[in-house]
Amino acid sequence: MTERRRARMRIRRQRIYVVRRIVVAVCALLCCVLAVFSTIDAQRVWPRGESVAQGQAEVQGQAQKVSQSAQQSASRVSASASSLDRQQVPVFNQAIQEQRDKEAQRARWTNPTGKQPDLSQYSDLSVKVSIAKQEVYVQSGGETIYTMIASTGLNDTTPRGNYVIGMRGDHFYNPAEGMGADYWVRFNGPFLFHSVPTGANSGEYMEEEGNKLGQPASHGCVRLTVADAEWFYNQIPEGTPVTIA
């Protein structure tokens, strides 16, 4: 190899080395430039993120204010409603309660005292009247099978003793007393088992008299609820023993 060729090869190697160094330097410069631009972009984005966060915080704050305002409004409405309730409901409830009490009181002297048995299924029947308890007991073989609330005579005018069931009728009216009754069953002369008092016509029950059921109230007869009087009228056999004490 000649000296000239060797010189050319050295020159090529030096050029290649220089080119490589230039390429490396350019790459390094590009990396630095890219890093700078990335930093600038990040700095630009960062304030916007804070603005968004601030916007969200403001929206949340507004939402909380609206919620608080709604709660305060609801509280004011609730307080107003409570005030209205306090002013009006007691009167309204009192009227309802009075109506319910009236209906319950009426039911007490119109409905059966309890579950009425079928007396055709029993034998050895008898009737006992307790003046002290204002109750009538229908018994079979000496065992009570049905108890009825009753009203006997004022001033102990219901006769005490032993009697038997006699004739019966669906209605009577006594002009002298200004009242009558439905479903009457005689046990001793003018003394009867019958419903709470009526006016001149059957079914015209006197509420004031009916409300007295359970305490002495008659002129000597034994008053029963309307339903019990009808049941007694339909089912108690004639000749059944009656004891009043």
Six-digit token string for 184: 């009457």
Beta strand 222-224 pairing with 125-130 = unpaired
Q: Under 8 Å CB-to-CB from 171, ≥6 apart: which residues?
A: 180, 181, 182, 183, 184, 198, 202
Q: Under 8 Å CB-to-CB from 92, ≥6 apart: which residues?
A: none
Cα dist. 142→22, 121, 240 in Å?
132, 15, 13
The residue length of the chain stands at 245
194 catalytic? Reply is yes
| Count of CB atoms situated within 10 Å of the CB of 169 | 14
Task: Spot the catalytic one: 32, 171, 194, 219.
Answer: 194
Task: Spot the catalytic one: 27, 171, 219, 221.
Answer: 221
Q: Are 198 and 179 in contact (CB under 8 A)?
A: yes
Task: Say which amino acid occupies 205.
Answer: Y
Write out the catalytic residue numbers: 194, 221
